[in-house]
A and B are shown apart, each in its own frame.
Chain A
Amino acid sequence: MAKGSKKINWNSIMEKSVRSEMKIVEEPKKPIAMHPKKFAMWLFMASVMMLFASLTSAYIVRQAEGNWLYFELPLLFYYTTAIIAVSSVTMQVAYFAAKKDNTGVVKIMVLITSVLGVLFLIGQVKGWGEMARQGVHFVGNPSGSFVIAISFVHGLHIISAVVFLLIVLNSAIRLRIHSKNMAQMEMCTTYWHFLGALWIYLFIFFLINR
């Protein structure tokens, strides 16, 4: 409970008749109340979900119309998927460390996560190169265009998350992240897991619908 407020018993105030000096308010009934910024973050993720839901359903609708080029997904995508999964683990380790005020570990783990994020991005771009060597280009049959466009848009989100990681790293260096000040860390962790899970969903989606 924040400063400036305490829970006390109504009767005892009445007895002491200090009512006039204090403003008495009803216990607020708040069915859902979250940290507003965290809540906003969830809403943002909902809209990102909708963006990818629209792109993947466009994929299915278009595929159902036929004239669909079948090709092998680049091998690199398997590696990047592994990288993003590992980065979720390092992120979670950083989160636990922050909760235990272990700033040294936080810094290292956030740094590793950012590096893994960059590696993921490089891997994705090289994966497109691999597709090109198979003869599947961005321009051509929509089956290839879709894979590249969707992974590109996902990559843009990863870039935003890496920037967020660097902001968190900066806060950690300035000792602004600790067990009493977890909001930023929590938001970053949630966002990172979300984007990781999103890629894994997309990858499985591509594997199933080829």
Chain B
Amino acid sequence: MATIDIHVHTEVHHHDDHEEHDHHGNFWTSYIFCQDHKVIAKQFLITGMAWALIGGVLSVIFRLQLGFPDAKLEWLRPLLGGWLTSDGKIDPEFYLALVTMHGTIMVFFVLTAGLSGTFSNFLIPLQVGARDMASGFMNMLSYWFFFLSSAVMFTSLFISTGPAGGGWTVYPPLSALPQAVQGSGLGMTLWLVSMALFIVSTLLGGINYITTIINMRTQGMSFTRLPLTIWAFFFTAIIGLLSFPVLFGAALLLIFDRSFGTSFYLSDIYIAGEALPHVGGSPILFQHLFWFLGHPEVYIVLLPALGITSEIIATNSRKPIFGYKAMVGSMLFITILSFVVWAHHMFVTGMNPFLGSIFTLLTLIIAVPSAVKIFNYVTTLWKGNIKFTSAMMFSIGLVSFFLTGGITGLFLGNSAVDIQLHDTYFVVAHFHLVMGSASFFGMIAGIYHWFPKMFGRMMDERLGSIHFWMTFVGVYLVFFPMHYIGIAGFPRRYYSWTNFETFSSFADLNMLVSIAAIVTLSAQFIFLFNFFYSIFRGRLASANPWDSNTIEWTTPRHPKHGNWPGDIPTVYRWPYDYSKPGAKEDYIPQTIPYSETPESNLPHENELIKLEMGNTGAIVIDEKKH
């Protein structure tokens, strides 16, 4: 116990001594192979933003095809080259590759690495009160594995047979047989290599996050005093640690099938009338393995966003978070449930209907903790002294998407209803709202909120608000109509619907969606401008611009490696003492002891003063060493 902590102190003091030296270090050690969690967080952020831009542009390209099926896209030839057919249309196989890359990039590279990588890295040491991650070296490796994985995936966009084309879920046999589509050749191989590297990166990161949260908290930072952000990152890392190895197993067997001729997933396949040698495998097996990761993955994407927005909403409502324990409890419950619902993605694989009912039941139970979270968000906002900062607006946007997208989850979770809706645009609408947009908004909210801590300057609030309204309205215009298109039966991953008479009445709606997508994407450039401009020219940030309680705001404006110049602050209270009756200000940072706030203490908190004074007997004296 205490021993460990002191040990850390000694080590870190050491570190401080080396710091001067670090600073005279060259460009490579300070910016590239840096082990400071704050720098690594920024590396994840910038890489994630680059990927988001690529993923967004890909979606607009395929939306052009869906919204304007007759348009001539000759003007895109400089970008797409041979992927346009001779009459200026997108090649159908390339369409599939675009969708696949868009999904893979958004889910894994933007909302897993970009979101968890950025905010877990940045906030965990700063909010639990640690000098750095448990292992700075592993943390650095985590980023560089992600970078390698990105480089491989990026390369696959430019090879002549194109990137993987079997959907982000890479179901065999499509993904296992190079003869199936062009994208199942080299593109698929690169996809698998890239994802293997990605999994290594995620595991390195996750192990570090959990270890840091459990072992490196500062004095007084008990579990019940952790900000909800940290709880969310903690659960996210646990889910990742338990589910990514399963994807690794699934991918490994797929690699064996593809490259060594085994038949784990393949059986009885005829191509051009000839039987393939593979017999005895089962493609459904892959789906089980994939979705055992795949469903928890949606929570890997969503939980950090929920944590970030809980923090932002409490801060900007100037109210304690409603139901802190319920928030933690529901996240824990979601974490557990996320491992036992995977087969709701497989209702139409011919599974036993009884099993289907069990998975329906388990799936619908997730609605309970989710509803608890929404309720708590709303009650935190209720009668709050709300400050509509950009971060706050994006957080409220998340609550809205989480609700509208979550409701359609109840439809899809029913095995009987899903038979009609499966693989239609209804599903696309559902997961874009609840997972895509909600998490994306959480990430943007986090950037607006912690930008001052990251770069010491403020982002422009007016541009932020324009960015919010365009994106918020845009997202609903893009994804809401997709529900109707889906209920009408339009399947996802279809290149064209013009051949089906039934769908011609949806041409206008599809056009509207595509225009909205273009506008939404354009709005992101306002954000990019705001981001990069503010890094250099933004208004200088004060130490604690949002009057927040958490301890990252007690660091200097530009924290060095080691975060606090002196000792790490001790924590005396939970992070949500906003507008406490009797208090002088509407916030009391976690570092203020109860003994200094007699005017606002509750009876049981007065008891705690004795603890602060160390009356329990032994206390630890930490002698200063410089």
* Residues of chain A having any CB pair with chain B under 8 Å: 1-10, 13, 22-37, 39-40, 43-44, 46-48, 50-51, 53-55, 58, 61-62, 65, 67, 69, 138-142, 145-146, 149, 153
Please indicate the chain A residues that have their CB under 8 angstroms from the CB of B611 in the complex.
26
Known: A7-B620, A47-B245, A54-B246. A35 touches B280 (CB 8 A): no
- Asked if residues B207 and A1 are in contact (CB atoms below 8 Å), the reply is no
Return chain A residues, CB-CB under 8 Å to B250: 54, 58
Partner of A35, one of B4, B222, B567, B615: B4
| Identity of the chain B residue whose Cβ is nearest the Cβ of A64 in the assembled complex | B282
Q: Cβ of A55: which chain B residues have Cβ within 8 Å of it?
A: 249, 253
A26 and B611 CA atoms in complex are apart in Å by 8
CA distance in complex: A37, B4 (Å): 12
A-B contact pairs, 20 of them (CB 8 A): A1-B2, A3-B10, A4-B625, A5-B2, A8-B618, A8-B619, A10-B614, A10-B617, A13-B621, A23-B621, A26-B570, A34-B214, A36-B134, A51-B245, A54-B245, A54-B292, A55-B253, A61-B282, A62-B281, A141-B280
| Complex-state Cα separation, A95 to B136, whole angstroms | 28
Given A3-B10, A34-B215, A145-B264, residue A28 in contact with residue B1 (CB < 8 A): yes
Task: Spell out B's residues near A (CB within 8 Å).
Answer: 1-7, 9-10, 134-135, 138, 203, 206-208, 210-212, 214-220, 222-223, 241-246, 248-250, 252-253, 256, 260-264, 279-282, 285, 288-289, 292, 567, 570, 611-625
CA–CA, A50 and B625, complex, Å: 44
**A153 — which chain B residues lie within 8 A by C-beta?**
252
* A35 neighbours in B (Cβ, 8 Å): 4
Complex CA gap A27/B621 in Å reads 9
A4 touches B6 (CB 8 A): yes
Known A-B contacts: A34-B214, A40-B208, A43-B211. Give 8 more (CB < 8 A): A6-B621, A23-B623, A24-B621, A27-B620, A37-B134, A39-B211, A50-B246, A149-B252
Q: Compute how far the CA of A39 lies from the CA of B215 in the bound complex, rounded to whole angstroms.
A: 9
Residues in A with CB closer than 8 Å to B208 are 40
Given contacts A51-B248, A61-B285, whether A9 and B617 have CB atoms under 8 Å apart is yes
In the bound complex, residues from chain B placing their C-beta under 8 Å from that of A10 are: 613-615, 617, 619
Q: State A65–B222 Cα separation when bound (angstroms).
A: 49
- Using CB atoms, name the residue of chain B closest to A11: B615
Residue from B10, B218, B249 with most neighbouring chain A CB atoms (10 Å): B249
Give the distance in Å from the alpha carbon of A74 to the alpha carbon of B437 in the complex: 53
Cα distance A5–B625 when bound, in Å?
11
Known contacts being A4-B9, A50-B242, A149-B262, is A62 close to B219, with CB within 8 Å?
no
Q: Are A24 and B211 in contact (CB under 8 A)?
A: no
Chain A residues within 8 Å of B289, by CB: 54, 58
Chain A residues, Cβ within 8 Å of B243: 50
Are B1 and A33 in contact, with the CB atoms below 8 A? yes
With A27-B616, A29-B222, A43-B207 already in contact, the answer to whether A5 and B621 are too (CB < 8 A) is yes
Given the interface contacts A26-B611, A33-B214, A40-B208, does A65 sit within 8 Å of B241 by beta carbon?
no
Contacts of A58 in B (CB 8 A): 249-250, 253, 264, 285, 288-289
B240 CB, nearest partner CB in chain A, Å: 9
Interface residue from B10, B262, B288, B624 paired with A2 (Cβ < 8 Å): B10
Q: B262 touches which one: A23, A27, A37, A138 (CB < 8 A)?
A: A138
B135: chain A residues at CB < 8 Å are 36-37, 40
Contacts A23-B624, A26-B220, A33-B215 given; indicate if A62 touches B249 (C-beta within 8 A): no
- Shortest Cβ distance from B7 into A: residue: A2
Of B2, B206, B285, which contacts A27 at CB under 8 A? B2
A149 and B614 CA atoms in complex are apart in Å by 58
A179 CA to B10 CA in the complex, in Å?
Answer: 21
The reply to whether A51 and B134 contact each other, CB–CB distance below 8 Å, is: no
B214 nearest in chain A by CB position: A32
Q: Are A28 and B7 in contact (CB under 8 A)?
A: no
Contacts of B1 in A (CB 8 A): 28, 30, 33
Q: Which residues of A contact B618 (CB under 8 A)?
A: 7-9, 27
Majority DSSP secondary structure for residues of A touching B: mixed
- Cβ-closest 3 pairs across A and B: A51-B245, A36-B134, A54-B246
Q: What chain A residues lie within 8 Å of B252 (beta carbons)?
A: 149, 153
> Which residues on A sit within 8 Å (CB–CB) of B619?
7-8, 10, 24-27
**Complex Cα gap A139–B206 (Å):** 35
CA of A142 to CA of B212, assembled, Å: 42
Whether B210 contacts A28 by the Cβ 8 Å rule is no
Q: A10, A24, A138, A142: which has the most chain B beta carbons within 10 Å?
A: A142
- Tell whether, in the assembled complex, residue A39 and residue B214 are in contact, meaning their CB atoms are under 8 Å apart: yes
Of B6, B260, B282, B621, the residue contacting A62 (CB under 8 A) is B282
**In the complex, chain A residues whose CB is within 8 Å of the CB of B3:** 1-2
Instruction: Decide: A61 and B288 in contact? CB cutoff 8 A.
Output: yes
Most buried by B among A13, A23, A27, A32: A27
What residues of chain B lie closer than 8 Å to A22, measured between beta carbons?
621-624
Given contacts A26-B570, A32-B214, contact A5 B622 (CB under 8 A): yes
Residue contact B220 to A28, C-beta cutoff 8 Å:
yes
* Contact indicator B622/A47 (Cβ below 8 Å): no
Whether A139 contacts B260 by the Cβ 8 Å rule is yes
Closest to B261 in A: A139
B596 CB to closest chain A CB (Å) equals: 14
C-alpha gap A60/B404 in the complex (Å): 39
Question: Which of B206, B210, B253 counts the most chain A CB atoms within 10 A?
Answer: B253
CA A73 – CA B175 in complex, angstroms? 32
Chain B residues within 8 Å of A33, by CB: 1, 4-5, 214-215
Q: A24-B619, A31-B223, A142-B281 are in contact. Are A62 and B264 (CB under 8 A)?
A: yes
Most chain A CB atoms below 10 A, which of B2, B3, B567: B2
Kindly list chain A residues whose C-beta atoms are within 8 Å of the C-beta of B262.
138-140, 142, 145, 149
With A40-B211, A58-B249 already in contact, the answer to whether A145 and B241 are too (CB < 8 A) is no
Contact of B614 among A26, A47, A146 (CB under 8 A): A26
Partner of A5, one of B223, B281, B623: B623
Q: How distant is the Cα of A3 from the Cα of B622 in the complex, in angstroms?
A: 10
Q: CB-nearest residue of chain B relative to A23?
A: B622
Q: From A1, A138, A141, A142, give the contact of B260 (CB < 8 A).
A: A138
Question: With a CB–CB cut-off of 8 A, which chain B residues contact A61?
Answer: 282, 285, 288
Known A26-B614, A142-B264: A36·B211 in contact at CB below 8 Å: yes
C-alpha gap A37/B211 in the complex (Å): 8
Query: Contacts A54-B250, A58-B288, A142-B280 hold; do A36 and B5 have CB atoms under 8 A apart?
Result: no
Partner among A8, A31, A51 whose Cβ is within 8 Å of the Cβ of B621: A8
Q: Which residue of A lies closest to B250 (CB)?
A: A54
* Contact (Cβ within 8 A) B214 A65: no
A5–B245 CB distance below 8 A: no
Evaluate contact between A30 and B5: CB separation under 8 angstroms.
Answer: yes
Closest approach, in angstroms, between the C-beta of B369 and any C-beta of chain A?
A: 23
- Please give me the residue from chain B that is nearest to A66 by CB atom: B280
Complex CA–CA separation, A23 to B566 (angstroms): 11
- Taking the nearest CB of chain B, how far is it from the CB of A13, in angstroms? 8
Within the assembled complex, what's the spacing in Å between the Cα atoms of A63 and B135?
Answer: 42
Contact A36 B216, beta carbon cutoff 8 Å: yes
Q: Which of B10, B246, B612 contacts A4 (CB 8 A)?
A: B10
Cβ–Cβ < 8 Å partners of A146 in chain B: 264
Q: B615 to chain A: which residues have CB within 8 Å?
A: 10
